[in-house]
Chains A and B, each alone.
Chain A
């Protein structure tokens, strides 16, 4: 059988992310996928030598437009550890709350994109309708819809008052019931299941060996979640990683659906335990040292490596993003799949290429 190469991306209607894949196909079967990334490299890691370490929080947040807050949080956590800053517990809780809201809006966005890739446009609209409710809470509490801008070295910039907290919890009930309605369609509908069940199976061993992270790893049955490390306020909150054992596209969707409700539960727990006190400490001096920070983003584990030499500019800044870790798994599941399943499979790892290329 003659082999043909079909280019997929960087501009593709199903995927707003600029990833390019050369799909080697035999008839309608994909034999091999060759990725090429680097279309939107912005050189953010190099910028650390030009910007003040406190100012750099803004740039760290802008690495990604969806998991922006957790990028800023990870950066701040790394600098705070190097500088030994006693971050107030209230700031830790507020970071946890905003981090979980960030996860909620990211997963709802993904569900919408997934429905769009399946051709289920009304479900896509409903997912994004619910996401809009989450974004309104985020805008009212932080001032931005996707770029929160509330995290800073030493704490957070804004506080959530008791009245605002009560309003958020009330709104959260409505969001939860809305989410129940839409996730029911994702998990029960025959047309959705037909497109996802048994498509792109990744076994537990493969997922582990290929170094997958986040929902892609948990869908294959590995119970690993960086929030278990107990950063921010997670050491005081009760949760179990959402896992599935099937390892197919449906399992990856089910993990994300489960994490929506887990996030709502974590936000409720965090509000119930929210301590009083300051939200930030005064930061003086410059960092001197090296640290590796790991946090759980909506897409999986992100690793930050920071090296400082006592000046106001950091010496080295390096990020390992979750999408980069999940790309080998994507290439694995694309081998032998049907050409029509490629968009669904690319979406199931929730690729965020602007993170990956920085």
Chain B
């Protein structure tokens, strides 16, 4: 039983730098290994449609005839299932979380 048990901790942190950052003025540094934005490499893609079939949320659309690939950023949950299933390794997850999606349009590549 004691009083003022937090005093030592409070004094220690009163003299230390804050652990919080002044976001958004100080942008958050991406943590290496984090599952961030999905990146697409157009050159190696064979438009096999496996990623679109595997996507748990249906965020990906592949147009095989027109050789185009699209993502709905608002639907993507960044699980990495498409990255695992891509036979040509055209997909990857970048540690950066990218810009915030503000429209419901698909991003076509």
Q: Provided the pairs A140-B34, A143-B34 are in contact, do residues A189 and B79 lie with their beta carbons within 8 angstroms?
A: no
Assess whether A132 is interfacial by the CB under 8 Å rule: yes
Say whether chain A's binding surface is mostly helix, strand, loop, or mixed: helix
Q: Mark A135-164, 1 if CB is under 8 A from B, else 0.
A: 010011101100001000000010000000
Q: Which residue of B lies closest to A187 (CB)?
A: B5
B31 with A122: CB separation less than 8 A: no
Q: Which residue of B lies closest to A133 (CB)?
A: B19
Assess whether B77 is interfacial by the CB under 8 Å rule: yes
Contacts A58-B81, A140-B33, A185-B6 supplied; 4 other A-B pairs, CB < 8 Å? A51-B56, A149-B80, A188-B5, A193-B1
A58 with B5: CB separation less than 8 A: no
Assess whether B10 is interfacial by the CB under 8 Å rule: yes
B81 with A189: CB separation less than 8 A: no
Assess whether A55 is interfacial by the CB under 8 Å rule: yes
Assess whether B106 is interfacial by the CB under 8 Å rule: no
Among B19, B32, B33, B79, max chain A CB count under 10 A is at: B79
B5: contacting residue among A51, A139, A189, CB under 8 A:
A189
User: For residue B56, which residues in chain A have a CB less than 8 angstroms away from its CB?
Assistant: 51, 55, 58-59
A sample of 22 cross-chain residue pairs with beta-carbon separation below 8 angstroms, ordered by A number, consists of: A55-B56, A58-B79, A58-B81, A59-B56, A122-B6, A123-B6, A126-B6, A126-B13, A139-B31, A139-B34, A140-B31, A141-B33, A143-B34, A143-B93, A144-B78, A149-B79, A149-B80, A188-B1, A189-B2, A189-B6, A190-B1, A193-B1
B5-28 with Cβ < 8 A to chain A: 5-6, 8-10, 13, 19
Q: How far is the CB of A6 from chain B (nearest CB, A)?
A: 32
User: For residue A140, which residues in chain B have a CB less than 8 angstroms away from its CB?
Assistant: 31-34
| Contacts between chains A and B (CB distance < 8 A), count | 59
A residues near B (Cβ < 8 Å) are 51, 55, 58-59, 120, 122-123, 126, 129, 132, 136, 139-141, 143-144, 149, 157, 181-182, 184-185, 188-191, 193
Q: Which 4 A-B pairs have the closest CB atoms?
A: A143-B35, A189-B5, A185-B5, A139-B31
Q: Provided the pairs A143-B35, A188-B2 are in contact, do residues A129 and B19 lie with their beta carbons within 8 angstroms?
A: yes
Assess whether B107 is interfacial by the CB under 8 Å rule: no
| Distance in angstroms between the alpha carbons of A29 and B34 in the assembled complex | 49
Q: How far is the CB of A129 from chain B (nearest CB, A)?
A: 5
User: For residue B78, which residues in chain A have a CB less than 8 angstroms away from its CB?
Assistant: 144
User: For residue A193, which residues in chain B have a CB less than 8 angstroms away from its CB?
Assistant: 1
Q: Which residue of A lies closest to B84 (CB)?
A: A157
| Distance in angstroms between the alpha carbons of A143 and B32 in the assembled complex | 8
| Distance in angstroms between the alpha carbons of A123 and B4 in the assembled complex | 12
B9 with A185: CB separation less than 8 A: yes
B80 with A182: CB separation less than 8 A: no
User: For residue B35, which residues in chain A have a CB less than 8 angstroms away from its CB?
Assistant: 143-144, 149
User: For residue B80, which residues in chain A have a CB less than 8 angstroms away from its CB?
Assistant: 143, 149, 157
Q: Provided the pairs A139-B33, A140-B31, A140-B34 are in contact, do residues A55 and B5 lie with their beta carbons within 8 angstroms?
A: no
Q: Which residue of A lies closest to B53 (CB)?
A: A52
Q: Mark B65-104, 1 if CB is under 8 A from A, else 0.
A: 0000000000001111100100000000100000000000
A58 with B77: CB separation less than 8 A: yes
User: For residue A181, which residues in chain B have a CB less than 8 angstroms away from its CB?
Assistant: 8-9
| Distance in angstroms between the alpha carbons of A185 and B7 in the assembled complex | 10
| Distance in angstroms between the alpha carbons of A21 and B34 in the assembled complex | 39
| Distance in angstroms between the alpha carbons of A182 and B5 in the assembled complex | 9
Q: Which residue of B lies closest to A143 (CB)?
A: B35
B3: contacting residue among A122, A157, A184, A190, CB under 8 A:
A190
Q: Provided the pairs A51-B56, A185-B9 are in contact, do residues A190 and B2 lie with their beta carbons within 8 angstroms?
A: yes
| Distance in angstroms between the alpha carbons of A181 and B13 in the assembled complex | 12
| Distance in angstroms between the alpha carbons of A181 and B9 in the assembled complex | 7
A122: contacting residue among B8, B10, B84, CB under 8 A:
B10
| Distance in angstroms between the alpha carbons of A188 and B5 in the assembled complex | 7
User: For residue B34, which residues in chain A have a CB less than 8 angstroms away from its CB?
Assistant: 139-140, 143-144
